[in-house]
A and B are shown apart, each in its own frame.
Chain A
Amino acid sequence: MSAAMKRSLPLAMLLALSLAPAARAANEADYKAAYAAAEAASKEAAGMRNQWTTTVATLAAAKKAGDGGDFDGAVTAAKEAEALAKASIVQATTEKEAWKAMEIR
């Protein structure tokens, strides 16, 4: 097998493994865990006074789906909200210095 093939094999297997658990429907525990992570990230973003409106909206959508028993939808929304919150945190930290680039001197 060529080197590339050797390297991509383990990768493929890893990918397959990570997909395996998602195959079955998410249950309430998955939703609670995903929502808690998203909420923590969102609180951190708010603490940095750099929250995004889309984070708040997606988190609310996750809760609504979760309350309605649609755990699959709720988990996806919670994951998305977490990603948004994390992005806003990265934005806040990078901008601490990056703003100077735009300053009129």
Chain B
Amino acid sequence: MPVRIWRKPLDLEKAKPPKGEIHIIKDRCKGCGYCIEYCPRKVLEESEEINKRGVHPPQVADESKCVVCSFCTAVCPDFAIFVTEKPCEGGC
């Protein structure tokens, strides 16, 4: 069998992919679900909470997976979600 990759790369910390912080303006959300469906990393999920419009705004399922591609912002029709990059801990 060819080379099997099992080890954690040695420079994993150094690579530091971007980490995202997700901001949701809950009351603007109209519950279309686009951000949840099309997030390539499945970071968002539907929340239990009901907003002013009687819909379930998204909530963050696993913020660590967010790589700030910001497709949720691009595909949200209501300007209800955006992502800011977390400053990397311990300096980049």
* Co-assembled chains A and B: no
